[in-house]
């Protein structure tokens, strides 16, 4: 019987993968549901003996099986895939994410076993030596965070996985949780062993019901959870769901929510590493950060450090989104340029019109004009260009975009999602919407630009957390590169 791999990833399903899978089964094929390879423009896609067919409709199933209809070619020859460096995502799309045997057969648990054979201190040193930095957006060195928690004496510590991937344009966490959930759980167990925590929480956003299902299954079936491992180490994981608050992606708001409260940001210090979940020392790491740990432990810190550039080491799963012809996931070493991602991997805009602006790093990231597309994807290079790499999401806009409208949206989104605890964010965001409206209406423009400048300064310097503090980033980039869009009538 022919074995056919078809994604059960929610993105693939959103364009009809379930019906395609059913059609292949009806045609007598042995269908294995996998994560997505991240080549979303080819979804729903089928993979037979390493050869890709797509995009498919249910009617194509018999043709694919009988005479290779809709054949794209061997996966290894698809340039947008072949040119990637798949480390974190090597299993995603290649195996059934519910199958622990397949996970083990493909190298799963090697990292945890390697860690358990080392001292916790040596595990932290390996993470530090690898150069791993937090993949959630802030890019904080993971080794330092783990060391801080390890050095904080307490009986009860926690590992909290931030799976509240709320930034528009990002979906790598979702793909990994749906496509290789055991890798995340293994990474959390390694973190637990390293810092002396026996309990982990995954805080998952409610917009990801499919990820909730795969994680629930994986937590129930991971043999390394709830069992005594080498040296008497035991680790358990609980899944907790969010309820539609973007602010809960901010780590202190997330901790409040995890504790069952309103998601209000906390003042720092104390750092979560000293007093995090339920007041205990807590590692809060993004999905991809934790998922990198098993690979680093299995393959060595040097192997991870060998990729990348400057202080941005390893590979990063970049995500191509918005008005893009070939949207999807591109895992590549840091240092690849924005232009390579958009043009070589993404094939330009889906509308066929010229790229006018690109927002990298989610709603709090800068809008870059075409002239900045040669910026390398590296934390420091992005910061130097006035932007933020964030979680690696790339949202492409064509020349129909109006950046004054996008600046207004940045304020409106902040106003909508503000937790309300600090004044610059709560009031400033609303005032920002009003001031942009006055400027675009041609009302007292010079004076209102001055007000806007003051407002941005107060929000940036006076907000409690990154939501209010970084909302100025997209607004300032719009003002810097696309000022003409703020002229009266520019949006018409």
Partner 1 sequence: MIKSADNSDIIHAIARDCLGLDGPLMEALVRINQRFGYVPKEAQAIVAEVLNVSQADVAGVTGFYSDFRSAPPGRTIVQLCRAEACQAAGVASVVTEVEAALGCAFGETRGDGAVTLEDAYCFGNCALAPAAMVDGQLIGRVEAKTITALVKP
Query: Where on the chain is the footprint of partner 1 (CB under 8 A)?
Result: 10-11, 13-15, 38, 40-41, 43, 165-171, 173-175, 206-210, 238, 240-246, 257-263, 278, 319-324, 327-329, 350, 359, 363, 393, 395-398, 401, 406, 409, 413, 417, 419
Nearer to partner 1, 71 or 240 (CB): 240
Q: 377: closest CA among 362, 391, 364?
A: 391
Q: Of 32 and 241, which has the nearer Cβ to partner 1?
A: 241
Compute the least distance from the CB of residue 125 to partner 1, in Å: 31
Cβ-based nearer residue to partner 1, 121 or 238: 238
Contacts of 395 by beta carbon, 8 Å cutoff, 6+ apart: 168, 169, 321, 322, 358, 359, 360
Cis peptide before 101 (omega within 30 of 0): no
What does the alpha-carbon distance between residue 329 and residue 316 come to, in Å, rounded to a whole number?
10
**Strand ranges, E, within 13-85:** 30-34, 46-48, 51-53, 71-74
Give 140 or 278: the residue with its C-beta nearer to partner 1.
278
Shortest approach of partner 1 to residue 327 CB, angstroms? 3
Closer CB to partner 1, 41 or 411, in the complex: 41
8 A C-beta contact, residue 112 and residue 120: no
The alpha carbon dihedral of 74, 77, 81, 84 has a sign of: positive
133 or 174: CB nearest partner 1: 174
Contact 239, 269 (CB under 8 A): no
Nearest approach, Cβ of residue 373 and partner 1 (Å): 16
The two tokens of residue 266 are: 């906390």
Q: In whole angstroms, how close is the CB of 436 to partner 1 at the nearest point?
A: 16
Q: Is the dihedral of CA 202, 205, 206, 208 positive or negative?
A: negative
Shorter beta-carbon distance to partner 1: residue 111 or 263: 263
Q: CA-to-CA distance for 93 and 37, rounded, in angstroms? A: 5
Hey, which residues does 367 pair with through a beta bridge? 359
**What is the nearest approach in angstroms of partner 1 to the Cβ of residue 381?**
22
Cβ 232 to partner 1, closest distance in Å? 23
How far apart, in Å, are the Cα atoms of 232 and each of 146, 184, 227, 229, 366?
Answer: 21, 21, 9, 6, 48
In whole angstroms, how close is the CB of 256 to partner 1 at the nearest point? 9
Tokens of 470: 């970084």
């Amino acid at each position: 019987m022919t074995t056919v791999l078809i994604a059960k990833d929610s993105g693939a399903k959103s364009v009809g993968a379930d019906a395609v899978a059913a059609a292949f089964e009806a045609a007598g094929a042995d269908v294995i549901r996998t994560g997505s390879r991240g080549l979303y423009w080819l979804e729903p896609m089928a993979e037979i003996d390493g050869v890709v067919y797509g995009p498919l409709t249910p009617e194509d199933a018999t043709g694919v099986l009988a005479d290779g209809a809709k054949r794209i070619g061997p996966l290894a020859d698809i340039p947008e895939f072949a040119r990637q460096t798949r480390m974190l995502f090597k299993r995603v799309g290649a195996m059934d994410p519910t199958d622990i045997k397949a996970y083990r057969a493909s190298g799963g648990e090697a990292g945890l076993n390697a860690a358990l054979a080392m001292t916790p201190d040596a595990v932290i040193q390996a993470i530090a030596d690898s150069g791993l930095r937090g993949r959630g957006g802030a890019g904080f060195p993971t080794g330092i965070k783990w060391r801080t928690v390890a050095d904080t004496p307490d009986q009860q510590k926690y590992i909290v996985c931030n799976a509240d991937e709320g930034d528009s344009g990002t979906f790598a966490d979702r793909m990994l949780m749906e496509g290789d959930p055991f890798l995340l759980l293994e990474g959390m167990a390694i973190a637990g062993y390293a810092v002396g925590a026996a309990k982990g929480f995954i805080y998952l956003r409610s917009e990801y019901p499919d990820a909730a299902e795969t994680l629930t299954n994986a937590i129930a079936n991971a043999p390394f959870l709830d069992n005594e491992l080498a040296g008497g180490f035991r680790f358990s994981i609980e899944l907790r769901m969010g309820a539609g608050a973007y602010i809960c992606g901010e780590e202190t708001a997330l901790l409040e929510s995890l504790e069952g409260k309103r998601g209000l940001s906390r003042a720092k210090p104390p750092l979560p590493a000293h007093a995090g979940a339920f007041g205990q020392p807590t590692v809060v790491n993004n999905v991809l950060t934790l998922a990198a740990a098993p690979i680093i432990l299995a393959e060595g810190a040097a192997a991870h450090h060998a990729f990348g550039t400057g202080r941005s080491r390893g590979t990063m799963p970049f995500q191509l989104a918005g008005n893009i012809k070939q949207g999807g996931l591109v895992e590549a070493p840091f240092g690849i340029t924005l232009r390579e991602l958009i043009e070589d991997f993404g094939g330009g805009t889906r509308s066929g019109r010229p790229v006018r602006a690109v927002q990298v790093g989610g709603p709090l990231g800068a809008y870059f004009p075409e002239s900045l597309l040669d910026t390398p994807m590296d934390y420091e290079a992005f910061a130097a260009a006035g932007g933020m790499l964030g979680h690696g999401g790339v949202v492409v806009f064509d020349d129909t975009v109006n950046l004054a409208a996008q600046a207004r949206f940045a304020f409106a989104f902040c106003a909508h999602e503000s937790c309300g605890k600090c004044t610059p964010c709560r009031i400033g965001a609303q005032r920002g919407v009003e001031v942009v409206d006055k400027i675009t209406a041609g009302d007292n423009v010079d004076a209102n630009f001055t007000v806007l400048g003051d407002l941005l300064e107060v929000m940036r310097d006076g907000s409690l957390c990154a939501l209010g503090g970084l909302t100025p980033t997209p607004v300032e980039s719009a003002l810097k590169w696309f000022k003409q869009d703020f002229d009266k009538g520019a949006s018409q």
